[in-house]
Structure 1
Amino acid sequence: MRVTVSHALGGYAAVMTLAAAWLGLTAMASPAPAGTFTTIDVQRINVREPDGTLRMTISNHAQVPGIVYEKKEYPHPNRPEAGMIFYNDEGIENGGLVFNGGMKDGKRTNGGQLSFDRYMQDQTLQLVSEENGTERRVGIAITDRPEETMDIPAILRLRDMKPGPDVDAAAKKAGIGRAQRAWLGRATDGSVALILGDPQGRPRMKLGVADDGTPSIDLLDASGKVTKSVR
């Protein structure tokens, strides 16, 4: 059979097409090779699932993410730290490890917090360390949050409202609320205490040691009045 130039070129093209297709399928089937690095300088790293769902970020303060709500990111009203933000299976924020600090207005400041959130709500468990000049606060807090999920767009609109009954009602409707059920830690006055609260967040029992070393146990009523005390 006589092979012409056009036949040869056609055969070559067919072979190259098959080879490219095979390489493409092989690349899709094989995982990307792992890389090894000595040092990486970045401002932010996003960790995602294969389908693109965000699961964790590691970032400096300038690139720290905002609030992700229904797959849309909103500016965070108060997040001055760098660190790690955690996201659940749906890409909704559910905790983080953040930190900041430095000299501010001539005072030493330092802060760090590891926290975990309720589903589409705010923090329920916090490990906190704060320093502002001579004041230091360190401890573990357990907090109840509302059954309702937070409405982030509605919460952000509260910033334009004046304080008063209307903003309080709007905040409650938007899912804002907290009741601290337990605190174990050091207060800014130098005392340490275990404080247990009722479902409304009112302290009802306190086991503490003052900054001068005096121990005490106090039982309180709903108004905060001490009903029984051991010293």
Structure 2
Amino acid sequence: MINWLPSKEKGKREMEQRDRRAAIGTAAALLAGGVTVMAGSGPARATSSGELARESFRVVDRRGQQRFLASSSKPPIIVGGRTYPADQRQGPEGTYLIFNDGDGNEKGGITASSVGASLSLDYTNAQAITMATRWEGVHGAALLEMKHMPDPALPVGQVPAMPSRVQLGYSTPEGAFLVLSDSRGRPRIVLEIDGDDKPVIKVLDSEGEVVGQLPETPAGRRS
């Protein structure tokens, strides 16, 4: 007996079979690392092109702890063993890839939206490194930022805002810059090439006053 299906339905069935084979192969690879379960959120739906679509894809380990999440919308936050609603997550709506540690706590992720993209890595209870880019029309900016580490014993809800220690960036109107700050977030060394391609190196005191600069101003004074 010949199993005949209309071409569109047959294509959909073939794609489903390929997806199942791919899932089995991926599951086998994950088993070797102790990750055993993969789960999609919500039923798979066929798109106008006949492809199967899901709004999110989640990988959990044998204990049911989330280890990875891919989502087409802003997801909840899992930190310190608690789950916080998605509206408490900073950042725009977009595509989210979330990485979790062995206890299920979020330790970093990638975000992509229509106005920018970012990658972040976390300390135990706070954000550590952010690499981001944004654009609007003919203007754009890129930034790598490293923040001060808080006391790791503090619960997430008690961690104060951590100051930035290193900022390396570029923007179309302002040029390129490197800012090194002290433990209170006060800029102390600034290297800059401004929008007119003029370079400058500044050393600042704790009050923000310039105490050394290259090149010096034409009058010999430091600005």
TM-score norm. by structure 2 comes to 0.68
2:80, 2:156 within 8 Å by CA — same for their partners in 1? no
Distance 1:73 1:181, change over 3 A: same
Distance 2:26 2:162 in 1: 45
Distance 1:35 1:134 in 2: 42
1:144 aligns with 2:148: yes
Greater C-alpha radius of gyration: 1
1:68 — aligned with what?
A: 78
2:201 — aligned with what?
A: 217
Distance 1:143 1:206 in 2: 17
| Between 216-225 and 140-149, the greater mean CA deviation after superposition | 140-149
Cα offset for 1:208? Answer: 1.1
Look up the SS of the partner of 1:149 in the other structure. coil
Runs of 4+ residues over 6 Å off in structure 1:
none
> Which amino acid is 1:179 matched to?
P
Deviations 1:100-156 (A, max 9, x none): 11xxxxxxxx211011000122x211111012345422021111132143434xxxx
Cα offset for 1:44? Answer: 0.3
For these two proteins, the number of residue pairs brought into alignment is 167
Distance 1:187 1:43, change over 3 A: same
1:94, 1:118 within 8 Å by CA — same for their partners in 2? yes
Look up the SS of the partner of 1:86 in the other structure. strand
Q: Which runs of 5+ in 1 are unaligned?
A: 1-31, 102-109, 153-173
Distance 2:144 2:24 in 1: 42
1:197 — aligned with what?
A: 181
Cα offset for 1:188? Answer: 6.1
1:181, 1:197 within 8 Å by CA — same for their partners in 2? yes
Cα offset for 1:40? Answer: 4.4
Match of 1:34 among 25, 28, 34: 25
CA RMSD of aligned residues (A): 2.4
Distance 1:70 1:229 in 2: 45
1:118 — aligned with what?
A: 123
2:165 — aligned with what?
A: 181
Q: Which runs of 5+ in 2 are unaligned?
A: 1-22, 28-49, 216-223
Q: Which structure: greater helix fraction?
A: 1
Distance 2:191 2:72 in 1: 39
Identity %: 25
Cα offset for 1:34? Answer: 2.9
Cα offset for 1:187? Answer: 3.7
1:44, 1:58 within 8 Å by CA — same for their partners in 2? yes
1:44 aligns with 2:56: yes
> Which amino acid is 2:144 matched to?
I
2:35 — aligned with what?
A: none
Cα offset for 1:224? Answer: 1.2
1:158 — aligned with what?
A: none
Distance 1:57 1:141 in 2: 24
Distance 1:185 1:89 in 2: 33
1:145, 1:177 within 8 Å by CA — same for their partners in 2? no
